[in-house]
Amino acid sequence: MVKKIKIEVAYATSKQQCIIAIQVDADCTLEEAIDCSGILRVFPEIDLVKQKVGVFGKQRKLTDLLQQDDRIEIYRSLIIDPKEARRKRAKYHI
């Protein structure tokens, strides 16, 4: 019998947040868990080739294995470079 672990897959847009809790085989990769979660059907705009993923805020590879209670996070592409955003805010606060 294959051991199962509980994990979550999380993704958020500017208007909506989605966290899906699932059970997967203990030897499951991030990519397999994302696929099993169904989140790619809920958010068809997710492109795992371009977007980064992580576990609890630390960037990971799609081929990495999961641990019990991990939360996979799919990160959105940045709309604006954070340094540029700070420059713009500073410019208007002088």
pLDDT at 81: 63
Per residue in 45-60, pLDDT (tens digit) is 999 999 999 999 999 9
Average pLDDT of 62-73? 97
Distance CA 44, CA 50 (A): 13
Q: Which domain holds residue 68?
A: 4-92
In three-state secondary structure terms, 37 is helix
CATH of the domain at 33: 3.10.20.30
Q: pTM for the whole thing?
A: 0.80
Write the burial class of residue 48 (CB in 10 Å: 0-12 exposed, 13-18 middle, 19+ buried).
Answer: middle
Per residue in 74-94, pLDDT (tens digit) is 998 766 666 776 776 776 665
Residue 73 DSSP one-character state: E
Number of domains comprising the chain: 1
Per residue in 3-53, pLDDT (tens digit) is 999 999 999 988 899 999 999 999 999 999 999 999 999 999 999 999 999
